[in-house]
């Protein structure tokens, strides 16, 4: 047997890391609640993230096969769709939900901006 195993994400995982992840020495949910600012905040964040992930408009399925201009157009389309979604849900611009969406999109799209700025193919592949 090899020293590694394949995780659900199909990446090689060192057995020591895998065993640590299976039985951490702390309560993961408690730490998540602390980092989010409480149980209620965790529930709201998870609901918002789920809403975004389940929306087919935000699918990243073919992103890696698009040209930089197609990726830019997609980012603009996603931004407009998200603005409509925020109005549809009745969220205020300063609400917790909108702040979570902003953080999620900044986290996702910061890599796209870096990739579009680079002209070297290797850099684009490496960032993602």
**pLDDT score of 122:** 41
Q: What pLDDT, in 10s, does the model give residues 75-114?
A: 888 888 888 988 998 988 888 888 888 777 776 655 555 5
Judgement on whether residues 9 and 51 belong to the same structural domain of the protein: no
Judgement on whether residues 74 and 114 belong to the same structural domain of the protein: yes
Judgement on whether residues 1 and 45 belong to the same structural domain of the protein: no
Judgement on whether residues 102 and 85 belong to the same structural domain of the protein: yes
Judgement on whether residues 54 and 84 belong to the same structural domain of the protein: yes
Q: What is the spatial distance between Cα 41 and Cα 117, in angstroms, rounded to a whole number?
A: 35
User: What SS3 class is residue 75?
Assistant: helix
Is the pLDDT reported for residue 1 higher than 90?
no
DSSP state string for 82-111: HHHHHHHHT--TTSHHHHHHHHHHHHHHHH
Q: How many CA atoms lie within 13 A of 91 on its CB side?
A: 18
Is 127:111 a contact under the CB 8 Å cutoff?
Answer: yes
Judgement on whether residues 63 and 122 belong to the same structural domain of the protein: yes
**pLDDT score of 31:** 92
Q: Using 50, 70 and 90 to split pLDDT, how confident is the model at 60?
A: confident
Q: What is the spatial distance between Cα 5 and Cα 97, in angstroms, rounded to a whole number?
A: 38
Is the pLDDT reported for residue 39 higher than 90?
yes
For the record, the structure tokens of 112 come out as: 């796209």
Domain that holds residue 58: 39-127
Percent of the chain with pLDDT over 70: 73
The total domain count for the chain is 2
Give the other-Cβ count within 10 Å of 98's Cβ. Answer: 16
């Amino acid at each position: 047997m090899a020293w590694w195993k394949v995780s659900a994400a199909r990446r090689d995982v060192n057995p020591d890391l895998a065993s640590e992840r299976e039985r951490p020495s702390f309560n993961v949910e408690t730490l998540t609640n602390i980092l989010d600012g409480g149980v209620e905040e965790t529930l709201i964040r998870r609901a918002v993230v789920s809403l975004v992930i389940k929306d087919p408009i935000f699918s990243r399925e073919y992103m890696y096969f698009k040209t930089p201009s197609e990726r830019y157009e997609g980012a603009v389309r996603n931004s407009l769709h998200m603005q409509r979604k925020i109005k549809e849900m009745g969220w205020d611009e300063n609400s917790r939900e909108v702040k979570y969406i902003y953080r999620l999109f900044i986290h996702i799209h910061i890599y796209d901006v870096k990739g579009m700025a680079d002209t070297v193919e290797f850099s684009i592949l490496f960032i993602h």
